[in-house]
Structure 1
Amino acid sequence: MKEIAVLGSTGSIGTQTLDVIRSHPDLFHARVLCANKSVEKLLRQAEEFHPAAVVVCDEEAGREFKSLYTGPAEVIIGQEGLTEAALRDDVDLVLVAVVGIAGLAPTLAAIGAEKELALANKETLVAGGSLVLAEARKHHVLIRPVDSEHSAIFQCMLGQDRKHIHKLLLTASGGPFRGKTREELKKVTLADAMKHPTWNMGMKVTLDSATMFNKGLEVIEAHWLFNVDYDDIEVIVQPQSLIHSMVEYDDGSIMAQIGNPDMRLPIQFALTYPERLPSPSRQYVNWRDIASIIIEKPDLEVFRSLKMAYEAGKQGGTAGTAFNAANEEAIRAFIAGRISFLSIYDVVEETLSRFISREIHSYEDIMEADRLARALAESEIRRIAPC
């Protein structure tokens, strides 16, 4: 029985992880459930999965949960509870599915404690990839990617010599605005941006898909996970979301990982690696219903996020931290109605132009860079926001 700490249990990845655990009760147990403030959902999860501990990061929500919860689990309130969960002696595997920079501290804690690690938080590697990978090498921890694209690349590399990799082909769905012009995106609303054509995801990831910042984050994440130069990572659009990514080798052979767009597949593989088990979805690709596979190039003039991601990644140091922080602040401002959809790109671009990147030596370096970048982003948001 593998004991799992699910960090972000009430989010999209977390709930699908629990679906995988539910499907294999003889193999997995949710030892710790962690959420930000979804009290009702967390209460239902605690009642069903009988964890040893429950973490609620938001203090007000934590007090509400504690007043309503009648079970035997230990209740931990506060953001530091994520790290406590990752360090517990009774946890074998830590699945990090919280959103944003909040995933960095528990990821480093899990690595330091030499836990099995399944990572669904791309911001951790974007903001602090050099530090995270150095710690993973030091403690001999294999980071098992949960993102469908990085899981696909990971699977395409199994049994292969990495020195023969020619290129990583990172696929994107194109999101809800594939094929749109900049003019057509001027009046985009939050509701428009949330209409993803193939994936059911949380708000932050769905909006990042609409702007393609999600793919920019994934380019930087792929660089760190697989030690591949940025010039050897190419983004292509595959709107059916059947090809989850590909690896091209020196001899011209291309390995592709193909499957239905169901996040439970990469989640389960991260939990069972190197074994494979029947999926909870029990669905297979029906090739008779597919007339053709569509492959397109992304529009780099409309989706400027990709250019910025490559530039930040190549610059190195804390530039990736700034890229991630500025995007988080811009997305938050868009959700609040403070800026337009296209202004998300402007905020990140201006932040990066003013940010001075420095080398990363510690967790504190990353968090200070994160703070400075958010301040720059907020100043730009205030400048362009309508009065």
Structure 2
Amino acid sequence: MVLGFPGRYTDVEAQARRIVVISTGGTIASRWQGTGFAADAPGREVLATAAIPQDITSEVIDLFNVNSPRLTSAQQLTLLRTVHQVLADPGVDGIVVTHGTDTLEESAFLLDLYHDDPRPVVFTGAQKPLGAEDGDGPGNLYDALLTAATVRDLGVLVVFDGKVHAARGTVKTQTLAADAFADPSGPPVGKVGFGKISILRRPQRPAPLPLPPADVTLPRIDMVMHHVDADPLFVETAVAAGAQGIVLVATGAGNATPEFVGAVTAAIERGVLVALTTRVQGGPVTEIYTHGGAVDLAAAGAVLTGTLRAGQGRSAVLAALLSASGVGERVSALRHVVGSAGLERGEAAAA
């Protein structure tokens, strides 16, 4: 096994590395149900499909077995606490989480916001179901195990199709293709191939948050998308339904209309935390335009999410709401979670 930084291969001794695999379902655990595929295979069956890298011992925790579109924030917090419980054992060298690809980016990023340990948590999954003749799950799982046993101080990672991605900014970019994940605003952290890992850069991450209390009440957080003829009624409806947070998925670099600015202003005056992202795949949200653009939305109090897109923007709002109770404290927490590093990286990519 090897670890290189930056962009170089270096030999690393890895004797009997102990990796815990947390199974949560997804395509990697899916089998035919008569009308379509659904997760139902336990983690030990998923792990049995993959070769185990040399000098690694593995054990499995079956936490959930769900298609990831059904995943809830409560289950994400259960996963978060399970990861921290596993890492409380100093004999564990790393964790692999097998997860459905549809919401993997949200779970990985949420866990990264709380990750305060040099040992890695590596998410992976598959685009083809368990037992497929040309399935990608076994290879992804092998690479994830190797990565979890080798790297340190990189936070939560996503390993897929031979690439190592930082949790922050990485999204699903392909519905079906094996190369399913990327950060549209930045390069991968590294690559995996021929039993070796090359680390090319070190992700910038904000200081980790303290774990939420076990008895926390989960807030309602809604997303509203702007488009031609979009109606701010949906912002108003979210507020009326009790939303404590709203993610506005705007156009361009974070633009909507004066009517949306009015609705966002009213929501913020009622204590709702509003994050501003964009439906554009890559580049930062930034203050350029007025007449309903990001200039006006930021002035109203919306927090720009930099290069974080909708799903991870929602995770950021969730973490901010769970970390503080006062309106001002929640805004500060969201700004911390979004982090200036993401903005700088996105601006550099856009330049």
TM-score relative to the length of structure 2: 0.30
Greater strand proportion: 2
TM-score relative to the length of structure 1: 0.28
Greater helix proportion: 1
